A = this chain, B = another copy of it.
Amino acid sequence: MAQNELPGGDCSPGPGEIMVIGLGPGREEEMTPRARQALARAEVIVGYRTYIDLIASLVAGREVVVTGMTGEVARCREAVARAAAGARVAVISSGDPGVYGMAGLILEVLAGHPRGKEIAVSIIPGVTAATAAAATLGAPLMHDFAVISLSDRLTPWEVIARRLELAAAADFVLVLYNPRSHGRPDHLRRARDIVLQYRQPSTPVGVVRNAGREGEEAWIRDLATFLELPVDMVSTVIIGNSQTRVLDGRLVTPRGYRL
C-alpha cells in the first residue's frame, strides 16, 4: 500500500497478490471462513458472472471484473496484470478452484509473466461439486472414484471415452462434471453406453442439479433410465460401482465393513 501513497512520477508500485478462491457449492454456509476472509481482503474481484452473482453481498463496494464463461484466458491475464500493478486480486471459482477451476490457468499465466515470480499467490480450496453432490445423494464416494469431465472443448472425445472405459473396467465410482450442454447433447448417452459394457443396467446413478446451492434438485435412478432426467451443465452425475446400492432412498457405496 505504501507505494501507492507516494507522489506520482516514475515510481512503479510493488507487485500485489492473487488469491484463487473456491466458493464451495454456492450457499454461504458452505463457504469456508478462509475463503470469506480472502474475499474481504480483495481490492479487485475477477470471475465468471454466475459465480459473482452467488456472492454479490460479499463483494459489494469492490471493483468487479466480469468475463463470459469461455473468457478464461482473458480473465486470468487481467487478474495477473492487475496484481502485477499492485492490486490484491481475488479470482473466484465455484466449488474448488483446483478442480476444473481457475487455479491451474492462473499459475500458467503467472509463470509466463515477467513479474510472475514476485506476485504472491494462494489457492484456497473449497467444497467441490463431487462431494457436495455425494452428500445430497447419500454416500456414493466411500470407495475409490474417478472424476471425469465430459466437455470436449479442451480434451478430445477419444481421450474422454478411453478414460470412461478404463475407469468403468476398474470398477471406480464415476463422477461426471460438465455432463451435458447444447454443444454436446449426445455425450452423456455415449458415456452411458461405454459404462454399460462393464456394469449392469440396474447400477444406481445419482444426479444432482445445483448441488449445494439455491434450486438444488436430486434424483436416484439407474444406468438404464437416468438419461430421462433433465441433466444439464449445472448437474453432477455419479454412477455407482458394482457394490453401490440404494438404502432407504439414499445412494451408498459400502467400504466393506462387516455389519
Contacts and interface: CB of A to CB of B under 8 A. Distances in A.
Interface of A: 22, 24-25, 27-34, 37, 72-73, 96-101, 103-112, 116-117, 123-128, 131-132, 134-136, 138-149, 154-155, 159-160, 162-163, 165-167, 169-172, 212, 247-248, 250, 252-259
Given A32-B29, A108-B259, A111-B248, A163 B159 contact: no
A31 to B, nearest CB: 7
Interface centre among A138, A139, A247 (most CB of B within 10 A): A139
Given A107-B139, A108-B252, A131-B99, A146 B149 contact: no
Interface centre among A22, A111, A127 (most CB of B within 10 A): A127
Contact of A145 (B37, B104, B147, B171): B147
B33 A257 contact: no
Nearest to A154: B256
Contact of A144 (B136, B163, B248): B163
Contacts of A132: 125
Given A98-B139, A145-B146, A167-B167, 19 more contacts: A29-B33, A30-B32, A30-B34, A31-B32, A73-B257, A97-B139, A98-B131, A98-B141, A100-B142, A104-B253, A104-B255, A108-B252, A108-B259, A110-B247, A112-B259, A117-B248, A124-B135, A125-B127, A146-B172
A18 B187 CA distance: 38
25 contacts: A30-B32, A31-B32, A33-B33, A98-B135, A98-B139, A98-B141, A98-B142, A100-B255, A101-B142, A103-B139, A104-B138, A105-B142, A111-B248, A111-B252, A116-B248, A125-B212, A128-B131, A144-B146, A144-B149, A146-B147, A154-B256, A163-B170, A163-B172, A167-B167, A167-B172
A149 B145 CA distance: 10
A154 B105 CA distance: 38
Which 3 pairs across A and B sit closest by C-beta, in order of nearness?
A104-B142, A154-B256, A104-B139
